[in-house]
Amino acid sequence: MYEIVSKRELASKIKLFEVHAPEMAEKVKPGQFIIIIIDEKGERVPLTVAGRDASKGTIKFAFNEVGKTTKQLGCLKEGERIGNITGPLGNPSEIRNFGRVLCVAGGVMIAPMFFEAQALREAGNALTTVVGARIKDLLLFEKEMESLSDRFYVTTDDGSKGCKGLDFLKEILEKEKFDRCVAWGPVVMMKTVSDMTRPFAVRTIVTLTPIMVDGMGMCGVCRVTVGGKMKFGCVDGPEFDGHGVDFDELVNRQRMFLPEERLSSLLWETRGGCACGRK
């Protein structure tokens, strides 16, 4: 059992948990993920780690309340416990002094990108950072990300804040020479960024979030095609070379259980969820 030490609402339906997990707090590195299981009936859900505090013995992760499990998780209060957390899982990000790094983060993945960007900065890299969301109210960690960056950009899909969409990246890529790009976010965003950096030959690292069950190489549901080869997201990744990833296949595979996910979520809602939002 893992106690929730603090809970913050970062934006509508996006929450940041800090959980007491001293052994993981010592070990986890940026780029790695954990698998949470809320209770004995729960499913196993992978979440990218968004920070750690070894002295307090805590780890942090953010999540978007999109399905039954994340909604249920969002209802848990400070002091309550999560049944099981397995981690750290997956390979840590490669962190060293690359030179100039372009960090592009979208949606809930901005939270773990902050953890990653801190490490990249500490390793001596100069950072150009882009944070994006669908609308301005869903932007996270703007100040924190800006504080780490030499250049900082905001983008929204609807243009409600900063640039509209990702087209402006082309100008940035034309103006500046980057040694590496790290793009974490929704699949469509990572695909777009990878397509844009390809002509500039900037090595682009994406983090994939395929469906997972065990998260340690046993089930193979997270298989993705990278450079024409079958890879497992959990043990070979979660980071891959964005220029080799078959994103279209990934999108299809992520939809495999959509009807079941909808049913599960609907049942949760009709049963009144956890009723935590009620007066």
Residues that bind other proteins (CB under 8 A): 23-24, 27, 32, 35, 37, 41-44, 68-69, 83-89, 213-214, 216-221, 223-225, 230, 235, 249, 252-253, 255-257, 259-261, 263-264, 267
Cα 192 to Cα 104, 165, 245, distances in angstroms: 11, 10, 12
CB closer to other proteins, 159 vs 220: 220
Q: Least distance in Å: CB of 213 to other proteins? A: 5
From 133, 126, 118, 134, select the one nearest 102 (Cα to Cα): 126
CB closer to other proteins, 147 vs 225: 225
Q: Least distance in Å: CB of 231 to other proteins? A: 11
DSSP lists the bridge partners of residue 102 as 128, 181
161: tokens are 């804040």
CB closer to other proteins, 205 vs 250: 250
CB closer to other proteins, 112 vs 132: 112
- What's the CA gap between 164 and 205, in Å, rounded? 23
Q: Are the C-beta atoms of 82 and 2 separated by less than 8 Å?
A: yes
Please list, residue by residue across 214-248, b when 16 or more beta carbons sit within 10 angstroms of its beta carbon and e when fewer do.
Answer: bbeeeeebbbbbbeeeebbbbebbbbbebbbbebe
Q: Least distance in Å: CB of 80 to other proteins? A: 18
The angle formed by the CA atoms of residues 213, 43 and 113, to the nearest 5 degrees, is 70
Q: Least distance in Å: CB of 34 to other proteins? A: 9
CB closer to other proteins, 5 vs 234: 234
Q: Least distance in Å: CB of 142 to other proteins? A: 32
Q: Are the C-beta atoms of 78 and 7 separated by less than 8 Å?
A: yes
Are β-strands 151-156 and 163-164 bridged in parallel, bridged antiparallel, or unpaired? parallel
Q: Are the C-beta atoms of 52 and 17 separated by less than 8 Å?
A: no
CB closer to other proteins, 170 vs 255: 255
Q: Least distance in Å: CB of 23 to other proteins? A: 6
